[in-house]
């Protein structure tokens, strides 16, 4: 006889999942069409049917620490074929949003990032921070923020010094890395405990070396977006996602190169257009804009698939980053320095928001999904 278990449904968790975009959850009547339709679901303990059961019952602990919610790429096949319109992919997307908030520190930030009413405050923080830090540096005589520049008009030196920008952004970036590190430590441990309890792995402990080897093994799959290509309903999303991913990678490389040039080689910007690193930055910026534009067009076209605030927040942020970054460069080249300073200020606000709020936003899936895919490979689950 099977062991009896007492279930303690978390009604509050169900309400939060519904509020994060899973309002179709209660339409599910457990026909298992979703698990049959999914082309990337593992043979052992396939998803998303069991996740729909757990979500309906409010079994938070079985979902939040479950690697399977991240293995789902929300391709839309299960949603299209669902006879009840329960949209399992959207429900798992809502569960992922909850999990991101659960593993991030402090948790209140996760709730704020997913709340449209908090957006003015979230953008107001970097807007004030940049001005306050600039004014403080001006008081000590560094003059890194200038509202009335004179002489040769340079994009950094006469308006907002690049050194001041780095002093603000670098600590913010590493603070986000710290939040991710704390969350990943808990997440990987919880994933393993969940897998052991559910019979998804026979490995008693996690070997760090083996986990890293598994991460290296799945890296090509992630970079090439093979899982998106296996989808049927939204297969074209692979191109847009790859453009955004490689756009970010290119811009990260460019930022690192220019940071090294300024702080180590003491070569200040702006840099010449024939600079190969500048070429890479322009290509990355264009890829970011086009890729995000394709994502927006796809979401607007798929009227049967839900798009919640967390989706539009991320798309708006990424598009804003790409547009303001490219406009700053083009307006500077056109000699309109006052307008350039305003656009650049907006761009800096968005860059800070990207760094500071990524551990709490949908973009955190880049980290948690990568960890889940690596663990799935490490656990030798097919």
Would you identify the CATH topology of the domain 11-105? Fumarate Reductase Iron-sulfur Protein; Chain B, domain 2 (1.10.1060)
Cα(204)–Cα(193) distance, rounded to whole angstroms?
9
pLDDT of residue 155: 45
Q: Between the CA of residue 88 and those of 55, 72, 351, 369, what are the distances in Å?
A: 10, 10, 33, 18
**Cis, peptide link before residue 48, omega less than 30° from 0:** yes
Report pLDDT for 201.
Answer: 76
Q: Is the dihedral of CA 48, 54, 60, 62 positive or negative?
A: negative
- Please, which residues have CB within 8 angstroms of residue 355's CB and are 6 or more apart in sequence? 169, 172, 173, 175, 176
Which ranges in the chain are annotated with CATH 1.10.1060.10?
11-105
Q: What is the pLDDT of residue 152?
A: 45
Write out the chain's pLDDT in tens, 382 residues. Answer: 456 667 777 889 999 999 888 889 999 998 999 998 888 888 878 899 999 999 999 999 888 988 899 998 888 888 888 999 999 988 999 999 999 999 999 989 988 998 999 999 999 999 999 988 888 877 765 666 665 554 444 444 556 677 788 889 999 999 999 999 999 999 999 999 988 887 777 788 888 999 999 999 999 988 888 777 677 666 778 889 999 999 999 999 999 998 898 888 888 777 788 889 999 999 999 999 999 999 999 888 877 666 788 889 999 999 999 999 999 999 988 888 888 888 999 999 999 999 999 999 999 999 999 999 999 899 887 6
How many angstroms separate the CA atoms of 103 and 184, rounded? 8
The answer to whether residues 375 and 192 touch, using CB atoms and an 8 Å cutoff, is yes
Among candidate residues 355, 349, 310, the one with its CA nearest the CA of residue 110: 310
Question: How far is residue 303's CA from residue 300's CA, in Å, rounded to a whole number?
Answer: 6
Reported for 188-191, long-range contacts at CB under 8 A and 24+ positions apart, including other chains, are: 188/371, 188/375, 190/64, 190/65, 191/65, 191/66, 191/67, 191/371, 191/372, 191/375
The answer to whether the beta carbons of residues 194 and 66 sit under 8 Å apart is: yes
**Rounded CA Rg of the chain:** 23
Alpha carbons 228 and 140: distance in angstroms, whole number: 53
Beta bridge partner(s), residue 160: 145
pTM of the model: 0.89
């Amino acid at each position: 006889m099977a062991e009896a278990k007492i279930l303690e449904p978390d009604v509050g968790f169900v309400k939060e999942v519904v509020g994060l975009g899973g309002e179709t959850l209660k339409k599910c009547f457990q026909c298992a069409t979703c698990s049959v339709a999914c082309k990337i679901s593992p043979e052992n303990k396939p998803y998303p049917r069991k996740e729909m059961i757990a979500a309906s019952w409010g079994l938070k602990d079985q979902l939040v620490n479950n690697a399977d919610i991240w293995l789902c790429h929300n391709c839309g096949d299960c949603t299209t074929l669902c006879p009840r319109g329960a949209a399992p992919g959207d429900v798992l997307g809502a569960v992922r949003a909850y999990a991101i908030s659960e593993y991030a520190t402090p948790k209140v930030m996760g709730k704020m990032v997913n709340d449209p009413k908090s957006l003015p405050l979230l953008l107001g923080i970097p807007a004030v921070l940049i001005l306050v830090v600039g004014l403080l540096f001006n008081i000590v005589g560094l003059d890194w923020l200038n509202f009335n520049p004179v002489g040769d008009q340079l994009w950094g030196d006469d308006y907002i010094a690049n050194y001041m920008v780095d002093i603000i952004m670098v600590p913010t970036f590493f603070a986000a890395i710290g939040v991710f590190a704390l969350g990943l430590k808990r997440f990987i441990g919880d994933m393993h405990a969940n897998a052991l309890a559910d019979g998804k792995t026979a490995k008693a402990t996690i070997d760090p070396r083996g986990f890293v080897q598994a991460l290296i093994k799945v890296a090509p799959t992630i970079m090439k977006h093979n899982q998106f290509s296996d989808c049927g309903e939204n297969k074209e999303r692979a191109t847009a996602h790859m453009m955004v991913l490689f756009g970010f990678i290119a811009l990260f490389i460019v930022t690192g190169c220019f940071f090294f040039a300024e702080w180590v080689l003491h070569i200040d910007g702006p840099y010449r257009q024939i600079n190969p690193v500048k070429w890479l930055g322009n290509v990355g910026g264009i890829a970011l804009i086009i890729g995000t534009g394709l994502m927006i067009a796809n979401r607007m076209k798929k009227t049967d698939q839900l798009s919640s605030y967390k989706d539009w927040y991320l798309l708006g942020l990424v598009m804003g980053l790409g547009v303001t970054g490219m406009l700053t460069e083009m307006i500077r080249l056109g000699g309109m320095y006052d307008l350039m300073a305003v656009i650049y200020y907006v761009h800096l606000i968005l860059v800070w928001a990207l760094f500071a709020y990524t551990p709490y936003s949908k973009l955190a899936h880049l980290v948690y999904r990568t960890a889940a895919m690596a663990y799935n490979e490490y656990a030798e689950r097919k």
